[in-house]
Structure 1
Amino acid sequence: MTVDVLRAGPLTTVQDLGRPGWAHLGVPRSGALDASALRLANRLVGNATDAAGLEVTAGGCSLRLSSAGTVALTGACAPFSVDGRPAAYGVPVAVPAGAVISVGRALYGVRSYLAVAGGIAVEPVLGSRSTDTLSGLGPAQLRDGDRLPLGSAGTPSTVDFVPWEPPPAALHLWIRLGPRDGWFTREAVEALLGTAYTMSPVSNRVGARLTGAALPRASGVQAAELPSEGVVLGAVQVPANGQPLIFLADHPTTGGYPVIGVVDDVSPLAQAAPGTTVRFHGSER
């Protein structure tokens, strides 16, 4: 059983729950940005929660199943149809052999997750089938005409309704300061924790770029060069323009700009569209 890609859309990738544990070799975790949405989609079609599905970013995609199967769409709410007939969001949907599955442009949120019974069975790399858009590990970004293998299907869920809320217009993120908050002025730290930032349209799976109050360095390190050091998921790096960047799933494992703090949980950023307000709050947890 296979899936033929008729229209890949602007950015559709294969994602599972990633490849943790390889940062010491320079390999980031990668995986679905909205892991809970992928887990839900997999449960709905009877897959293991760590099975690979498709992360469909903003612009949608169109696919064809070679044999009858079951699919489910979660994450960003988007128009969803089978052979032109509207299909339900967030429930198992039976698909006849040869039918065309279409996911439209996201109405709320950014990334939809399409699970197919059996899971996307491309060859794993370092234990994961995830596409890493920064390093190129895993399968390539989907292109028109691609054919993806599927695994053995399980028994779909009998759920007929899943509650869903649109992503909020403002996100509140908890951040632990350090390790390089000392490189910044007191006013910079106050601005980070006391003003609102806006999600930039140039954000991607590598990082969420924010625009707002610049974060100036302290006088003693204004021209200093920081040797590359390890960075982690959620690290808030501040490049030369002073605008913070939050590292997401495909982030590099080292960086040369100072990290002013680390966000406890980046998952809300998976569905944050450009223009979303982001506020940071100090965390002692």
Structure 2
Amino acid sequence: MSLRVHATGPLTTVQDLGRPGNADIGVGRSGAADRAAARLANRLVGNEPHAAVLEVTLGGLEVEPTRDVVVAVTGAPCPGVPMESTTEWRAGERLALGTPKVGLRTYLAVRGGVDVAPVLGSRSTDLLARLGPPVVEAGTELPLGADRSAGPYGADFAPHRSFPDGPVRLPVLRGPRDDFVGDAGWKAFLARPWTASSRSNRVGLRLEGEALKRVDISELPSEGMARGAIQVPPSGEPVVFLADHPLTGGYPVIGYVDDDAVDLAAQVRPGQGVRFVERG
């Protein structure tokens, strides 16, 4: 009752909906970078929303079940597998995810869930805190939960998600430290085209473009950080915090991406354009 991993692509991790409520002991939530895609994959196979799935960055995962399983693949569309539908996979047959042409992260759910040992109540891999199960490697055998614990599975009526291959538009609200760039800086932030950096990861979507200038250069004490926070480091190039963001930071947070839109931010590929739209 396991998945044999033959290849992982650039990065494959085990993720669920994270470990909320542990900030007082210095532990962030982590969890799936695109929560909507992870939830949909679990719904399709009849799992509970918090069941662990595989998060696959830029495809390349190849796995083989040791028993017949029911699977669903969501998120960035990968060639070679049905997307956003339920598939019965036979023992010994290999499932291979090609490289998506749009989007960045794909989610594979197996009925019964990936049953690795939880840490602080979650099976998520937190890359910043180095907490949870290790990054999935070729040769790993991932245990699976019993599918009798899952509910009915089949069609899902959630609307199909599309992933733009052009600039992504992210709705934002002004943040508590927007005065550090002033009104002119905020308008420049909205007006300028930004490009996703190859240095982006599960911690944050790093952006490249004409640097924002601070009008307030005073030092800030460390403050609490949240998913979707838009922080401006000394480089002047913003960072949108994603699933594995730090709990505190000392650079100004000038805005926040809408929580639902952070899922889309997690699907932005390196080199893809990003524009921010202020939500009224």
Q: TM-score, normalised by structure 1?
A: 0.90
- Secondary structure in 2 aligned to 1:108? coil
Match of 1:83 in 2: none
Contact 1:181 1:259 in 2 (8 A): yes
- Secondary structure in 2 aligned to 1:112? strand
Does 1:5 find its partner at 2:8?
no
Does 1:170 find its partner at 2:167?
yes
CA–CA distance in 2 between the matches of 1:191 and 1:111? 30
CA–CA distance in 2 between the matches of 1:73 and 1:257? 37
Alpha-carbon displacement from aligned partner over 1:216-251 (angstroms, at most 9, x marks no partner):
111xx43x3322221111111111110000111100
CA–CA distance in 1 between the matches of 2:9 and 2:239? 26
Cα drift, residue 160 of structure 1: 8.6
CA–CA distance in 2 between the matches of 1:259 and 1:162? 33
Contact 1:188 1:214 in 2 (8 A): no
Q: Which amino acid aligns with 2:142?
A: L
Contact 2:45 2:154 in 1 (8 A): no
Does 1:19 find its partner at 2:19?
yes
Match of 1:55 in 2: 55
CA–CA distance in 1 between the matches of 2:161 and 2:267? 11
Cα drift, residue 166 of structure 1: 3.0
CA–CA distance in 2 between the matches of 1:124 and 1:249? 18
CA–CA distance in 1 between the matches of 2:46 and 2:8? 25
CA–CA distance in 2 between the matches of 1:250 and 1:143? 20
| Aligned residues between the structures | 275
Of 245, 256, 262, the residue aligned with 1:262 is 256
Unaligned runs of at least 5 residues, structure 2? none
Does 1:120 find its partner at 2:98?
no
Match of 1:41 in 2: 41
Q: 1:88 to 1:174 in 2, by over 3 A?
A: closer
Alpha-carbon displacement from aligned partner over 1:116-174 (angstroms, at most 9, x marks no partner):
11100111111111110110111011011111111111355232997634312233223
Of 179, 182, 194, the residue aligned with 2:179 is 182
Q: Which amino acid aligns with 1:225?
A: E
Match of 1:277 in 2: 273
Contact 1:18 1:31 in 2 (8 A): yes
CA–CA distance in 2 between the matches of 1:28 and 1:48? 22
Contact 1:26 1:252 in 2 (8 A): no
Does 1:72 find its partner at 2:72?
yes
Contact 2:30 2:244 in 1 (8 A): yes
Q: 1:161 to 1:63 in 2, by over 3 A?
A: farther
CA–CA distance in 1 between the matches of 2:156 and 2:278? 40
Contact 1:197 1:278 in 2 (8 A): yes
Identity across aligned pairs (percent)?
51
Does 1:248 find its partner at 2:242?
yes
Q: TM-score, normalised by structure 2?
A: 0.92
Contact 2:190 2:277 in 1 (8 A): yes
Does 1:97 find its partner at 2:91?
yes
